[in-house]
Chain A
Amino acid sequence: MSQVRALIGTKKGAFVLTSDAKREKWDVAGPHFGGWEIYHVKGSPVNPQRLYASQTSGWFGQVVQRSDDGGKTWEAVNNEFRYEGEPGTHLWYDGTPRPWQFKRIWHFEPSTTDADAVYAGAEDAAIFRSTDGGKSWNELAGLRQHDSASKWQPGAGGMCLHTILIDPANADRLYVAISAAGAFRSEDAGQTWRPINRGLSSKYELPDPNADVGHCVHRIAMHRSRPQVLFMQKHWDVMRSDDAGGSWREVSGNLPSDFGFPIDVHAHEPETIYVVPIKSDSEHFPPDGRLRVYRSRTGGDDWEPLTRGLPQSNCYVNVLRDSMATDSVDPCGVYFGTTGGQVYASADAGNHWSAIVHDLPPVLSVEVQTLP
């Protein structure tokens, strides 16, 4: 029988939650790195025992942790993230130039073919790669040296590269998303990049709502069987692309709010997607104090609320961009964590929910591994 392992990053440490495939009873291990912000923990699809964790602190900066036994023990590896060449400047909140300065790693994306290879998404926005299990890091500087980069500007959470997707059919094709520069695609394993933001419209955020760059993309997701189809939760608007980001169309449909952070895809149904509507960019909590996941079985446009087991009154948590994941058990499990410290799980594709844990520190990220 399969085992499921959830990797939870929080503001005060990492937690590893395990269950059998029934997903009814969970063992909770942690906190690992108690007191540190753990922005992200993710396992290698090649060797699921190999995990990478981003451990950060306003006091002590960035540490990268690696585990080779599924999170039981950890080893600090290299934390040297050096921008290539002269870093140059981007725009600060007030519109003035600001030198690029490394702050933290938001996201790790392990290679689909090599357990020692992993990409790291940084604030200030850049992508790094290690090919030796985190012992050294090199920037893929073509992204930050894109012609538009001097005009990039941070979102409220900082100028972070928070999403990295690897095309499972073509490892040279990568996607990244940056707040607030937008989405970019590489066809040459990260050497060169082009913006893929055609069709996005940000009329309350940008002077030119349809600009090539500058959009506050919150998250992108794909199903591994159809890597040319992308789903996006933008600041406002849920979007879909059927041509690898070449163009986007809005699929917000009947959502009560199309603002939100995470978006994810059912493991076995590539047209079934999930979002968590949030009231607005001014009020980061669910509409009407009701925590609802919305599911579309049609790849967008038509959405249904999923509420069973979720608080339907007086709920004012947020769900951050890297805090939703699915497992590949059948039926598909769906998971998300909240800023209130709950991790909710559904073992039936979202029909019913329950909290695996109630009282963790605010959840920054959720990843799930399905183990043999």
Chain B
Amino acid sequence: MIRVVLPYHLRRLAGVNGDVMLEVAAPVTQRTLLDTLEARYPVLRGTIRDRDTHQRRAFLRFFACEEDLSNEPPDALLPDAVVSGKEPYFVVGAMAGG
């Protein structure tokens, strides 16, 4: 099972507490992971990536294994540690404040 950590606002929108556990069919990529996430929680469609182009929304980032995967190709395989559930996949809101 893959462990997905959503930002606060998306957890509330999806109505989930804590991490989301997802079974994702191989090959496990950012695209297939996010497809699975959106299929489970349709309310998240359009909130993480564009509905049509699947381009990541500008102020979101994707982290895993202490790496920023935001600009990696969406069809690149995710690290084994994410696939095995050892490490979570983070959807993160970019920092902003004042």
Contacts and interface: CB of A to CB of B under 8 A. Distances in A.
Interface of A: 35-36, 57-63, 76, 79-80, 82
A76 B93 contact: no
B45 A59 contact: no
A66 to B, nearest CB: 12
Given A63-B13, A76-B13, A80-B46, 17 more contacts: A35-B8, A36-B9, A58-B59, A59-B9, A59-B57, A59-B60, A59-B93, A60-B10, A60-B47, A60-B93, A61-B47, A61-B57, A63-B43, A63-B47, A76-B43, A79-B45, A79-B46
Interface residues of B, number: 18
A272 B88 CA distance: 61
A60 B9 CA distance: 9
**Which among A35, A57, A60, A79 has the greatest number of chain B C-beta atoms within 10 A?**
A60
B93 A61 contact: no
B94 A59 contact: yes
Contacts of A82: 51-52
Secondary structure at the A interface, as helix, strand, loop or mixed, is: loop
Best-buried of A35, A59, A76, A80 by chain B (most CB within 10 Å): A59
Contact of B59 (A35, A59, A79, A80): A59
Contacts of B94: 59
Contacts of B52: 82
Interface of B: 7-10, 13, 43, 45-48, 51-52, 57, 59-60, 93-94, 96
Contact of B57 (A60, A63, A79, A80): A60
Nearest to B92: A59
Contacts of B13: 60, 63, 76
26 contacts: A35-B8, A35-B9, A57-B9, A58-B59, A59-B59, A59-B93, A59-B94, A60-B9, A60-B10, A60-B13, A60-B47, A60-B57, A60-B60, A60-B93, A61-B46, A61-B47, A62-B46, A63-B43, A63-B47, A76-B13, A76-B43, A79-B47, A80-B46, A80-B51, A82-B51, A82-B52
Looking at A61, A79, A82, the one whose CB has the most chain B CB atoms below 10 A away is A61
Nearest to A76: B43
Most buried by B among A35, A76, A80: A76
A296 B51 CA distance: 47
Contacts of B45: 79-80
B46 to A, nearest CB: 5
Contacts of B46: 61-62, 79-80
B37 to A, nearest CB: 14
Contacts of B60: 59-60
Nearest to A55: B13
A126 to B, nearest CB: 16
A57 to B, nearest CB: 7
Q: What 3 pairs between A and B have smallest CB-CB spacing?
A: A60-B47, A59-B59, A76-B43
Contacts of B51: 80, 82
